[in-house]
Structure 1
Amino acid sequence: MFGGTRVIADLLRNLFEYAALDSLSFRAAMAAFTAFALAIVLGAPVIRWLRNHRVGENTDKTDAPELAQLAREAGKDKTPTMGGSFLIGSLMTSVVFWCDLGNVQVVLALILLAGLGAVGFVDDYLKLTVAGSSGLSARAKLVGQTIAVLFVVGGFAWYAHASGRFSLLDVYPPFLKDFRLPLGDTLLGTAAFVAFGWLVIAGTSNATNITDGMDGLLAGCVILSGSALAIFCYVTGRSDWSFYLEVPYIPEAAEMAVVGAALVGSCLGFLWYNSHPAEVFMGDSGSLPIGGLLAWMAVVAKQELVLPLLGFVFFAELGSSALQTFWYRRSGGKRIFTMAPIHHGLQTKGGIFRPGKRPWPETKIVTRAYIVAAVCAMASLALLKVR
């Protein structure tokens, strides 16, 4: 059953013997187009509503005065946020319409999107409606993410055991042709898989959340990483391709390629409004769930250990923030980077580890991030053959 397309598919098949809707590639293309079109159509009225209700980013909530000053000079203090609401709405609608809702991985993807989207929405809502609020505390946000992620990963582990398909919980390191970690064979291994899945999904969700700091930066990088992950899912779900490339064959993973296509389409539609100068910001309501979905696609396609390369931009941003915070506390106020995350160091200081001759324009930072994301996506796909 393909969501809302089932009635249309049956009608076309019976009247004209037309079976295009049975084609995975056709549905992937239509999912991308539908998500893109919905994002374009919904974007304008949502942005207008957000602007009329003054749902804007508070640029003063930063410990870097020069960054706040740059934001005010660029008019970002007047730009509405929470644009992730129409991005996620477009994405989920397209998935429901074009995907097989009998596929467990797809259903869990929708639950993950809804759960992380709810956490992000509450965080954004508190920031924008409660005077002086910085949103959810780091601990409260992590608790919300953990509940959503453990529900999905735990449900997946239960499904693997209930169906007797313990190999769904295996982990496959890159470069090693015939090696796997059979975590699903024991209860202890299953618990390790759940903990590992939580780390991968929650970590990626936070990484994309931190990356969302410049016009078009996150959406553009997700388009590139999401496209590569959709290919991974497609290859893993095809018996011929998986046999040729000697990767695990997981039939249900192919349907996640349609989800990946919808993600790419929705981000393209969002980028229409978020490109420089941005008409709307994504906010946590969008950045948290799309990161979680990227990680879930990696889990389904057994590419968890390739994800750091595939999403290098996201993890470089997360790593810089984590290292900066750790070293600042341990060293009594010293810093490793000029500013974290690193895109702000380039924007304000012109360098990552030490100030440069002049700050980088925002458009140059974003464009070069796209280049890095594209190169890393291609390198990760090359690992299919290297294996």
Structure 2
Amino acid sequence: MLYYLFRALEQFGIPGSAMWGYISFRSLLALMLALVISMVFGEYFIKTMKRRNIGETARDISIDPFGVEKKGVPSMGGIIIIVAILIPVILLGRLRNIYMLLMIATTLWFGAIGFLDDYIKIFKRNKEGLAGRWKILGQIIMGFVVGLTLYLSPDAVIRENIEHQRVGDRTEIVHKSEAVKSTKTTIPFVKNNNFDYADLVGFLGEHKQAVGWIVFVLMVIIVTTAVSNGANLNDGMDGMAAGNSAFICIALGVLAYVSSHIEYAAYLNIMFVPGSQELVIFICATVGALIGFLWYNAYPAQVFMGDTGSLAIGGIIGVLAIIIHKELLVPILCGVFLFESVSVIVQTQVFKFFKRKGRRVRVFKSTPIHDAFRRLDSQLDPTSIYLIRRWPRHPFHESKITVRFWITTILLAAFTIITLKIR
């Protein structure tokens, strides 16, 4: 809204109004505004939840080897994050931009799924929350909508990067003059780093491009579902998911910015995505909201984000990566989320396999994997066999676990960015 207002005032020569045309100015303003909103609204939200005696009761979070009581801490704090993201985006962003509209829809949809899950847990006293099949269905629907929108919208296009040989051994990277719809994406560690999903069905000949879009939509569904569930599993310690997600979003912001700038895209030999510069504003608002949320969510937490926040954040990260055609970098960038998800899958499948044989066997002390680092031997099931019982040797304080996971994410985020030059 403010963007359109000041762009109109620029026509009358109002001093300072031209600044609103700069992505850098609006992005940093969005970050600061989101941070302030998150802190101010967060205090009001926490007081309201406490006054109404609405706290976390469904999960077993009161067990802490260092004696910190968490039962009754307000949940649904994801509402704080969503509000702090959307207000700056609506005020400072270009709402006619198809990518901005997709991100707003993604935030609201995934937030609604998480809110319904939290509502059932807290108000209906059902610790299982929303049935897993309905969560997955909701995630699949949004993934399908995003993929279909990118396929149908005339504004969702790219300009492919190509190499032209110059004098000597040097090469010059240029982009095709025409913007086209494409199922291509960036693949790491490969010199000519454009990979086309249509190539997976190359045996179909002239029909491969049409079927390639079906493969692309399926990829969108897989990425958004996997990342949102990974973020949800990572939300188990004070500040864990908020901090990791903030660092991931910063890396995505860098990738979105260079993808939207034709000169930087040429230098890095990546495809140019016209219009994706507005995503930088959305990402900065998300980072600001997460940092502001950490004011209350850092150990010892005064509020939990709940599924309302974790599913929304995961959806945001997944869809952002898809839009800028960097989804194949997600396993690296979101390596912590991937590790959490794999640990749960391995633990569950191994337990089910041996249970049919009448034995109780687990791989880790606890999953998601971050929980194994704080689990005391006295808290383990004496009737179960643990394949990795001596790792870790002793429990760590929750704050130390969180910071070490943050450091891991920072390293993965940095490595993700430099993969653009490692070929």
- What's the TM-score bracket when you normalise by the shorter of the two chains? over 0.9
Tell me what 2:76 maps to: 82
Cα distance, 1:171 vs structure 2? 2.2
TM-score by length of 2: 0.85
What is the rounded CA distance, in whole Å, between the counterparts of 2:65 and 2:180 in structure 1? 51
What is the rounded CA distance, in whole Å, between the counterparts of 1:378 and 1:173 in structure 2? 16
What is the rounded CA distance, in whole Å, between the counterparts of 1:80 and 1:283 in structure 2? 9
Is 1:130 aligned to residue 130 of structure 2? no
Tell me what 2:364 maps to: 337
Tell me what 2:388 maps to: 353
What is the rounded CA distance, in whole Å, between the counterparts of 1:163 and 1:318 in structure 2? 32
Cα distance, 1:330 vs structure 2? 1.8
How do 1:218-257 residues align onto structure 2 when only pairs under 5 Å count?
Answer: 218-257=241-280
TM-score by length of 1: 0.92
Change (3 A) 1:262 1:205: same
What is the rounded CA distance, in whole Å, between the counterparts of 1:200 and 1:376 in structure 2? 18
| Counterpart amino acid of residue 275 in structure 1 | A
Aligned to 2:410, which of 352, 374, 378? Answer: 374
Tell me what 2:229 maps to: 206
What is the rounded CA distance, in whole Å, between the counterparts of 1:88 and 1:134 in structure 2? 24
Tell me what 2:52 maps to: 53
Higher alpha-carbon deviation: 284-293 or 248-257: 248-257
Looking at secondary structure, tell me which structure has more helix per residue.
Answer: 1
Asked which structure has the greater CA Rg, the reply is 2
What's the CA shift string for 1:203-251, capped at 9, x where partnerless?
A: 1000000100100001111111100000000000000000011001112
How do 1:188-207 residues align onto structure 2 when only pairs under 5 Å count?
Answer: 188-207=211-230
Higher alpha-carbon deviation: 228-237 or 6-15: 6-15
Cα distance, 1:111 vs structure 2? 0.5
| Counterpart amino acid of residue 37 in structure 2 | L
SS at match of 1:131: coil
Is 1:364 aligned to residue 400 of structure 2? yes
What is the rounded CA distance, in whole Å, between the counterparts of 1:352 and 1:12 in structure 2? 67
Tell me what 2:305 maps to: 282
How do 1:252-263 residues align onto structure 2 when only pairs under 5 Å count?
Answer: 252-263=275-286
Residues 106 and 316, structure 2, Cα contact 8 Å, conserved in 1: yes
SS at match of 1:77: coil
Residues 106 and 255, structure 1, Cα contact 8 Å, conserved in 2: yes
Higher alpha-carbon deviation: 238-247 or 312-321: 312-321
Tell me what 2:22 maps to: 23
Tell me what 1:4 maps to: 2
Change (3 A) 1:179 1:220: closer
| Counterpart amino acid of residue 299 in structure 1 | I
Higher alpha-carbon deviation: 156-165 or 374-383: 156-165
Higher alpha-carbon deviation: 166-175 or 327-336: 166-175
| Counterpart amino acid of residue 194 in structure 2 | R
Tell me what 2:171 maps to: none
What's the CA shift string for 1:24-83, capped at 9, x where partnerless?
A: 111110111111111111001111111122221125x45xxxx64328942210211001
Change (3 A) 1:71 1:132: farther
Residues 151 and 181, structure 2, Cα contact 8 Å, conserved in 1: no
How do 1:284-303 residues align onto structure 2 when only pairs under 5 Å count?
Answer: 284-303=307-326
What is the rounded CA distance, in whole Å, between the counterparts of 1:17 and 1:57 in structure 2? 47
Provide the aligned C-alpha RMSD in A.
2.2
Higher alpha-carbon deviation: 323-332 or 238-247: 323-332
| Counterpart amino acid of residue 153 in structure 2 | Y
Is 1:158 aligned to residue 156 of structure 2? no
Residues 342 and 352, structure 1, Cα contact 8 Å, conserved in 2: no
Cα distance, 1:352 vs structure 2? 10
Tell me what 1:145 maps to: 139
Higher alpha-carbon deviation: 30-39 or 325-334: 325-334
Aligned to 1:175, which of 161, 171, 189? Answer: 189
What is the rounded CA distance, in whole Å, between the counterparts of 2:154 and 2:371 in structure 1? 43
Cα distance, 1:10 vs structure 2? 2.9
| Counterpart amino acid of residue 184 in structure 2 | D
What is the rounded CA distance, in whole Å, between the counterparts of 1:101 and 1:178 in structure 2? 34
SS at match of 1:359: coil
What is the rounded CA distance, in whole Å, between the counterparts of 2:66 and 2:408 in structure 1? 28
Residues 126 and 135, structure 1, Cα contact 8 Å, conserved in 2: yes
| Counterpart amino acid of residue 305 in structure 1 | L
Percent identity, aligned pairs only?
Answer: 30
Residues 63 and 69, structure 2, Cα contact 8 Å, conserved in 1: no
Cα distance, 1:161 vs structure 2? 9.4
SS at match of 1:171: strand
In the alignment, structure 2 segments of 5+ residues that lack a partner are 159-178, 199-207, 378-385
Residues 193 and 270, structure 2, Cα contact 8 Å, conserved in 1: no
SS at match of 1:181: strand
Residues 111 and 152, structure 1, Cα contact 8 Å, conserved in 2: no
Residues 62 and 69, structure 2, Cα contact 8 Å, conserved in 1: no
Residues 206 and 291, structure 1, Cα contact 8 Å, conserved in 2: yes
Residues 167 and 182, structure 1, Cα contact 8 Å, conserved in 2: no
Change (3 A) 1:129 1:238: same
Cα distance, 1:5 vs structure 2? 2.7
| Counterpart amino acid of residue 354 in structure 1 | R
What is the rounded CA distance, in whole Å, between the counterparts of 1:71 and 1:135 in structure 2? 26
Change (3 A) 1:345 1:163: closer
What's the CA shift string for 1:243-263, capped at 9, x where partnerless?
A: 011001112222111111111
Residues 93 and 100, structure 2, Cα contact 8 Å, conserved in 1: yes
SS at match of 1:385: coil
In the alignment, structure 1 segments of 5+ residues that lack a partner are none
What is the rounded CA distance, in whole Å, between the counterparts of 1:45 and 1:219 in structure 2? 19
Residues 39 and 266, structure 1, Cα contact 8 Å, conserved in 2: yes
SS at match of 1:289: helix
Tell me what 1:311 maps to: 334
| Counterpart amino acid of residue 38 in structure 1 | I
